[in-house]
Structure 1
Amino acid sequence: MDTAIIAEKSAIQETAIQETAIQCELLLPHGHGRKIYEFDIADIRLRRRLVQRFYGLLVLQVACTMPCLRVMLEYPPPYPAAMVSFSYLMTLFLYTCFYVWRDWRRRAPYNYLVLLLSTALSSLNRSFYLIYVAKSHWLYAYPIILMAELLALMLYSAQERFRFTQARGIFIIFLVFGMFTLMAYRLDLLFQIVYSMACTFEAWYVLYDTHFMLCGRHGYKIGDAEYVYAAGSIHIDLPRCLWRLLKMMILNKFVEAFRLVRECFKTEVC
């Protein structure tokens, strides 16, 4: 009798384990095992519905770039290089403050205010960058292609049959951009579209930060209904992403060089 009870409890425990949160797996090279990240939102349907909603908000945010571009084309700002530098530095400062003190912007109406502010700043900075690159109506291709890429990612997240990995997301991004490039080549407009390739990096950043947000690697948890908070956090997480990139590509090299020089004073040749 006791054996049957123990077996039944074991079966219940195994079933509970199987029904736990679907996990985000990062495959490492052979011999290193497997590294696993748990999602904050256990149900894949709720998680992907959240992604669809805040990706939809991101599409609307990118759409706000077009009227901003229109105004700048009609009234070009003076000293564009200085304006771009000041705008970027001010944005990084504000986003850093919002990232450090983040809990207050979860609740309404503060989450909507942060969303409006991030929309205005992202549209302004994107327009400054495009105006600095060129001054023609082909600048509208950048936000149009970026919106198409985000829409494709949003549609892919609507299904639950296939995994939504970064590799597949990047493939979708380049597939959309390749379709626009092929169309531009057929219309002899390839040169006007090439500069818009930067939109692929912006779409990839959205994928990258979505993983960090939903796996809790930013140090905060997002509920399945906090799509407004998530849409604002995509922008506010940018300084942290830039810091990780700077540390990986530049600072770590200086640290390695310093350690090498320090070892020269300590090690004996023979």
Structure 2
Amino acid sequence: MYEAESGTMSDNTYTGYNFEFSEKSIRLGFIRKVYGILMLQLLATVGIIALFLYVDSVRLYSQQNPWMWYLALVMMMVTLIMLACCPDVRRRFPINFIVLVAFTLCEGFLLGALSSNYNQDAVIIAVGITAVVSAALTLFAFQTKWDFTAWGGMLFVFVIVLFCFGILCAIIQNKYATLAYSALGALLFSAYLVFDTQLMIGGRHKYSLSPEEYIFAALNLYLDIVQLFMFILTMVGSAQND
């Protein structure tokens, strides 16, 4: 991440309109690449969830072999750390795509296993709500004059508060506390989706991602949408159980 700055170029490189046009072209290409990768990740994830929901043999096999869950969880954490903490990995082709594919498949497997514990209608409703909310927040992030990129520290504090509240909810085991936790989590990751979208957009925002970080940008947006889906699924599932 770098702080957006304005400046001039020397006469022997780009000047005025040409430099601005070049910057916009690079940024637009970056955005298209990020959303292309993100769409493939989401399609793969939805496909895996559908297998768990509609193919009984897949669901039963995963339930009878819990080692698959632990393996997927470990691989998901390892690949996530590699992509988030190792710039050389996420910027080097083709290793960056290989690691991202492994992460997406592991995350999709875990989401499929989680979704299989809910009613099919609840999962479909949660997917639909997540899609609508994500699209609306993305449009908002592109159009709003508010700069959310300066809110990173505050959002991180809210994550810590939410984590502590989640531990409390796990201890007291109260339905209304769980609903409140899920609602707060959905709001928080809605804000994170706007934050990460504006980091990708760049331009007039205080902070932005380098165009080289297309894997990191797609990973951030994917994680925001996944977390949003999980919190919405918890709320929908709890409401249907009443």
TM-score, normalised to structure 2, is: 0.49
TM-score, normalised to structure 1, is: 0.45
